[in-house]
């Protein structure tokens, strides 16, 4: 449909996009038809031929699509930075994660840790526990989920700790965010957006990209746990 923009987005931007969609559509622009999944899952779907107008991925994921000619380089916009955090079920004690030593003790003391198998946060966390030398112990009892929200494993009782982008943790009711993993242990993920060259609605795609990168959209990004 000419008045619809098909958007594929990483889960980290779900809260912000849903918050902004109504405002964008009310201003008379195209309706946003959005679908959300981890970056690696979206890349696989695009490789398999799924059609879209706009994609929001990690900066690295989008750069790969630019390199293979799938995304128009001139359309690219960097939208937000995001940090990985930890959460517990609402009402549970908040363990200490302020230092690397405290984080190590908290992770090793947990009955189970839930993290993503395909998302940027999960890839980072897997590398982090490997660097810390505790990967074998953590993974022996971890809940590694293929997609979706790790904090849901807190509600089901499958895990004591959930690891994910803070913006993704905030989308699950009934949990409490402890805080970010110590910032000196992580580099923020940068999420970027671009127009697919195969878009059948390039004008509307470019309008949406301009809106998402605008000052008008920044408060919704902050509210969702991201840094514009």
pLDDT in tens, 143-156: 999 889 999 999 99
Measure the CA angle with vertex 51, ends 45 and 52; round to 5°. Answer: 100
Find the length of the chain: 228
Percent of the chain with pLDDT over 70: 99
pLDDT at 1 over 60: no
Residue 195 CA to residue 147 CA, distance in Å, equals 24
pTM for the complete prediction?
Answer: 0.85
pLDDT at 210 over 70: yes
In a 10 Å sphere around its CB, with 0-12 CB exposed, 13-18 middle and 19+ buried, how is residue 65 labelled?
Answer: buried
- 3-state secondary structure (DSSP) of residue 79: strand
Other beta carbons within 10 Å of 101 = 10
Residue 92 CA to residue 106 CA, distance in Å, equals 13
| Residue 177, beta-bridge partner list | 87
Question: Smallest Cα–Cα separation from 59: which of 42, 41, 81?
Answer: 81
Q: Which residues have CB under 8 Å from 209's CB, separation 6+?
A: 54, 75, 77, 193, 194, 195
pLDDT value for 30: 82
- Kindly tell me the sign of the dihedral angle through the C-alpha atoms of 129, 134, 138, 144: positive
Domains, the chain: 4-81+189-223 (3.40.190.10), 84-185 (3.40.190.10)
Residue 91 region, left (φ>0) first, then alpha (ψ -120 to 50), else beta? Answer: left
| Residue 81, beta-bridge partner list | 190, 227
Question: Smallest Cα–Cα separation from 160: which of 87, 63, 51, 66?
Answer: 87
Residue position matching structure tokens 């994921």: 61
pLDDT at 216 over 80: yes
Query: Which phi and psi (to 5°) does residue 36 adopt?
Result: -125, 140
| pLDDT per position as a tens digit, 6-58 | 999 999 999 999 999 988 988 876 899 999 998 888 999 999 999 999 999 99
Question: Do 202 and 2 form a contact (C-beta atoms < 8 A)?
Answer: no
């Amino acid at each position: 449909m000419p008045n619809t923009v098909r958007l594929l987005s990483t889960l980290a931007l779900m809260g912000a996009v849903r918050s902004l969609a109504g405002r964008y559509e009310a201003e008379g622009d195209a309706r946003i038809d959005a679908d959300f999944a981890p970056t690696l899952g979206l890349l696989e779907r695009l490789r398999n031929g799924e059609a879209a107008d706009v994609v929001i991925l990690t900066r690295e994921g989008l750069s790969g699509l630019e390199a293979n000619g799938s995304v128009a380089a001139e359309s690219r916009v960097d939208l937000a930075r995001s940090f990985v955090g930890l959460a517990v079920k609402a009402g549970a004690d908040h363990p200490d994660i302020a230092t690397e030593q405290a984080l190590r003790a908290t992770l090793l003391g947990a009955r189970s840790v839930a993290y993503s198998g395909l998302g940027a946060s999960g890839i980072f966390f897997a590398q982090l526990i490997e660097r810390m030398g505790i990967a074998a112990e953590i993974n022996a009892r971890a809940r590694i989920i293929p997609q979706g929200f790790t904090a849901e494993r807190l509600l089901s009782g499958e895990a004591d700790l959930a690891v994910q982008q803070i913006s993704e943790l905030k989308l699950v009711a009934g949990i409490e965010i402890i805080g970010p993993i110590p910032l000196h242990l992580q580099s923020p993920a940068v999420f970027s957006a671009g127009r697919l060259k195969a878009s059948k609605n390039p004008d509307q795609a470019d309008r949406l990209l301009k809106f998402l990168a605008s000052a008008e959209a920044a408060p919704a990004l902050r509210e969702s746990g991201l840094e514009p």
